[in-house]
Amino acid sequence: MKMDERYEQAMLYDFYGELLTEHQKEIYELFVLDDYSLGEIAQEKGISRQGVHDLIKRCNKTLEGYEEKLHLVQKFLSVKEKVHRIDELLLTSETSPEDPAIAKIRKIADEIIEEL
């Protein structure tokens, strides 16, 4: 699997994963977050490799469906990118780094990035 596909799946899971069933979550996490192969998951969970494959495909479709409707991952990425730009601009501005307001702003910007 391509890395960017895995990354996208992990991000979709991070946002919408709680809308999957417990069973789906268990298996999807093994695959997307813990990097197990289909065969390993099949063995671990006592289901067929095809069954694991179908379940993961169904989860992908479900999560992508939520994003198509809500666009929240897209929105969050856009905000995150903007906050990064603020952070960079603060470093390049002519202001004194001792200005307490600027220090506070950098702290808040870091908090936002961590939160998103």
Q: Interface with a second copy by CB under 8 A: which residues?
A: 15-16, 18-19, 66, 69-70, 72, 75, 78-79, 82-83, 85-86, 89-90, 92-96, 99, 101-102, 104-105, 108-109, 111-112, 115-116
Cβ atoms 16, 77 nearer than 8 A: no
- One-letter amino acid at 93 equals S
| Nearer CB in complex with a second copy: 16/36 | 16
Contact 33, 10 (CB under 8 A): yes
- Token code pair at residue 96: 């004194």
| Helix, coil or strand: residue 87 | helix
Question: Least distance (Å) from a second copy to the CB of residue 30?
Answer: 21
Of 19 and 58, nearer to a second copy (C-beta) is 19
CA gap 70, 72 in Å, rounded: 5
State in angstroms the smallest separation of the CB of 70 from a second copy. 6
